């Protein structure tokens, strides 16, 4: 089996494990990217079991894929709160810090994770790293963009479409040796809408698919296993 096939198989395994955590009546946040696409596929296969499932998508591409498989997609403003959000990750370190946002929807993904009672991360084995490394995606305001880039010499605009909300997608290319300090610095800098560092406190469960099976790690946010009845 090729490396690409192995990674694809692991993504599918992690996505299916997460899809099994979804219950009928939940308000579910759907992430963006290739691993989230496998999740949508798995949920589509369970469609008959989840007639009252309501989803909020973090990108137009996710919304389109979900609707194509018969899932009900609403705006997050309609649902207000999510029972569960599920998304992939670009990197996961041993402490539970994540780098996310290579697909350009990092701000919406962080909003969905924050709005969810529980946030589950799904990934293939190569996403698990000993230490985070650049690039870290960031979304920038268009207003004053050149001034922002001049002040942030370690940030470079990516040759990519804008975010779903029209922001400029760029990458922080400096050191990521101290994720909490970097997250704080990027959060406080004018011109940065959001960054792709997700703290462990945002995450309930991390599912990493490996050759021997799906590893489950617990994060700092409550687990779906501890929730009351879904919906609202």
The strand pair at 98-99 and 91-92 is best described as antiparallel
117 close to 222: Cβ distance less than 8 angstroms? yes
Provide the token pair at 61.
């591409």
28 close to 82: Cβ distance less than 8 angstroms? yes
What does the alpha-carbon distance between residue 211 and residue 125 come to, in Å, rounded to a whole number? Answer: 8
Give the SS3 label for residue 105.
coil
ω into residue 177 within 30 of 0, thus cis? Answer: no
Sign of CA dihedral 1, 44, 104, 219: negative
> By CB neighbour count within 10 A (0-12 exposed, 13-18 middle, 19+ buried), where does 178 fall?
exposed
* DSSP type of residue 49: G
- Of 64, 78, 109, 227, the catalytic one is 109
Angle at the Cα of 107 from the Cα atoms of 105 and 113, rounded to 5 degrees: 100
The yes-or-no answer on residue 109 being catalytic is: yes
The strand pair at 82-87 and 116-124 is best described as parallel
Catalytic residue set: 109
């Amino acid at each position: 089996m090729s490396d690409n096939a192995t990674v694809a198989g692991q993504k599918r395994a992690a996505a299916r494990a997460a899809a099994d955590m979804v219950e009928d009546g939940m308000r579910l946040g759907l992430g963006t990217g290739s691993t989230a696409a496998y999740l949508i596929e798995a949920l589509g296969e369970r469609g008959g079991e989840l007639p009252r499932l309501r989803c909020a998508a973090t990108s137009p591409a996710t919304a389109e894929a979900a609707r194509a498989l018969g899932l009900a997609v609403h705006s997050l403003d309609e649902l207000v709160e999510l029972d569960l959000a599920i998304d992939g990750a670009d990197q996961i370190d041993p402490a539970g810090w994540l780098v996310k946002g290579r697909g350009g929807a990092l701000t919406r993904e962080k909003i969905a994770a924050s709005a969810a009672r529980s946030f589950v991360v799904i990934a293939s084995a190569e996403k698990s790293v000993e230490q985070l490394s650049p690039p870290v995606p960031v979304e920038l305001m268009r207003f004053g963009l050149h001034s922002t880039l001049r002040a942030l010499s370690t940030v470079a605009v990516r040759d990519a479409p804008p975010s779903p909300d029209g922001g400029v997608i760029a990458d922080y290319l400096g050191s990521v040796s101290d994720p909490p300090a970097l997250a704080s610095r990027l959060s406080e800098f004018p011109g940065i809408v959001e960054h792709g560092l997700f703290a462990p406190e945002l995450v309930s469960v991390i599912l990493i698919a490996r050759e021997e099976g799906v590893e489950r790690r617990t994060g700092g946010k409550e687990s779906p296993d501890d929730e009351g009845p879904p919906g609202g």
